Amino acid sequence: MFESPQENPYPDSHVLGEGPEPHPLLRPVLPLLGRWHGRGRGEYPTLEQDFRYEQEITFSHDGRPFLRYEARAWLIDASGTPVRPAGREAGWWRVTPDASLEVVLAHPTGIVETYVGRVSDTEIEIETKDVALTPLAKEVTGTRRRYALQGAEMTVTHDMAAVGQPLRHHLTAHLRRRPS
Q: Which residues here bind ligand HEM, judged by CB under 6 A?
A: 42, 44, 46-47, 51, 53, 55, 73, 75, 86-87, 89, 107, 111, 138, 140, 143, 160, 162-163, 170-171
Please state the closest distance from residue 80 (CB atom) to ligand HEM, in A: 15
The answer to whether 170 is a known ligand-binding residue is yes
5 Cβ contact partners less than 8 Å away, ≥ 6 residues apart: none
Whose Cβ is closer to ligand HEM: residue 22's or residue 87's? 87
Q: How far apart are CA 178 and CA 162, in angstroms?
A: 33
Minimal distance, residue 143 CB to ligand HEM, in Å: 6
Tell me the closest approach of the beta carbon of residue 101 to ligand HEM, in angstroms: 17
User: Is 138 labeled as ligand-binding?
Assistant: yes
Cβ-Cβ contacts under 8 Å for 21 (sequence gap 6 or more) = 63
Point out the residue whose Cβ comes nearest to ligand HEM: 87
Beta carbons of 140 and 131 less than 8 angstroms apart: yes
The count of residues in the chain is: 180
Closer to ligand HEM by CB, 99 or 163: give it. Answer: 163
Q: At a CB cut-off of 8 Å and minimum separation 6, what does 178 contact? A: 34, 35, 36, 37
